[in-house]
């Protein structure tokens, strides 16, 4: 029997809004920690809409068996709202291999902030390039790709239909893995915020031995 893998980017958060408005400053005006950021009211509405769409796509006869979230509150909140819209119980599981890319000490600082406040790190960023540079206490793209690939491999071994609530960069990393996108494409798409909040992508395979293939379905953006 065919199996499905669904990717859903989490709903809108305040940092998603501020990234565009405050990119010229030194810091983003977000209190607390990155892991505790929650959805905006619009973000909840976006995810509820996707949940209703998924309930029509995955009925009781072909249900979603599990929803995987990262360790960040916004993905768990999104997963909970998705689960509430389904007409059957679904397992909600956390897997930190699908966490967003860690920026370490620089999680709340803009490019301009790094350039002006940490010129030595900005020089290293320019020398190593955006793919290979890892901020202090953070990780680079190859490290992100490796853990996401590992997580996807394990998730793909599980029976039944599954859904991963993704951060933007994780969504792009999974697309890279399944659709052969170049590393530079992932970076450019992330910087351009190419996929909107609550963006959804569906993959299908006829057997566990076959690769996941993208499925053309009516978009729910």
Instruction: Give pLDDT, residue 220.
Output: 60
In terms of DSSP H, where are the helices of the chain?
14-21, 41-57, 73-85, 111-117, 119-128, 141-156, 168-179, 183-191
Phi, psi (rounded to 5 degrees) for 23 = -65, -20
Write the CA distances from 25 to 135, 149, 193, integer angstroms.
19, 34, 19
**Burial level of 43, CB count in 10 A (0-12/13-18/19+)?**
buried
Instruction: Give pLDDT, residue 22.
Output: 53
Instruction: Give pLDDT, residue 141.
Output: 99
Instruction: Give pLDDT, residue 136.
Output: 98
Write the CA distances from 26 to 10, 58, 130, 158, integer angstroms.
26, 45, 19, 44
For the full predicted model, state whether its pTM sits above 0.85. Answer: yes
> Nearest-5° angle of CA 144, CA 150, CA 155?
125
Residues whose CB falls within 8 Å of the CB of residue 155, separated by 6 or more in sequence, listed in order: 5, 68, 95, 162, 164
Identify the CATH assignment for 3-214 out of 3.30.2000.10, 3.40.50.1240, 3.40.630.10, 2.60.40.10. 3.40.50.1240
Tens of each residue's pLDDT in the chain, 221 residues: 899 999 999 999 988 887 765 566 888 876 567 899 999 999 999 999 999 999 999 999 999 999 999 999 999 999 999 999 999 999 999 999 999 999 999 988 989 999 999 999 999 999 999 999 999 999 999 999 999 999 999 999 999 999 999 999 999 999 999 999 999 999 999 999 999 999 999 999 999 999 999 998 765 65
């Amino acid at each position: 029997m065919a199996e499905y893998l669904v990717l859903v980017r989490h709903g809108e958060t305040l940092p998603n809004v501020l990234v565009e408005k405050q990119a010229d400053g030194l810091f983003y005006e977000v209190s607390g920690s990155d892991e505790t950021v929650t959805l905006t009211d619009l973000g909840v509405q976006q995810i509820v809409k996707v949940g209703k769409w998924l309930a029509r796509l995955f009925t009781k006869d072909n249900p979603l068996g599990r929803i995987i979230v990262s360790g960040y509150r916004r993905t768990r909140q999104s997963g909970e709202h998705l689960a509430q819209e389904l007409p059957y119980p679904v397992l909600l599981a956390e897997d930190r291999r699908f966490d967003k890319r860690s920026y370490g000490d620089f999680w709340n600082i803009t490019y301009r902030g790094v350039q002006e406040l940490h010129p030595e790190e900005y020089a290293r960023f320019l020398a190593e390039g955006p793919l290979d540079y890892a901020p202090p206490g953070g990780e680079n793209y190859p490290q992100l790709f490796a853990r996401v690939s590992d997580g996807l491999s394990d998730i793909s071994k599980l029976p039944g239909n599954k859904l991963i609530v993704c951060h933007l960069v994780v969504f792009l990393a999974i697309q890279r893995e399944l659709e052969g996108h170049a590393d530079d494409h992932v970076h450019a798409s992330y910087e351009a915020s190419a996929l909107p909040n609550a963006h959804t992508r569906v993959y299908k395979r006829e057997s566990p031995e076959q690769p996941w293939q993208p499925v053309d379905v009516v978009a729910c953006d």
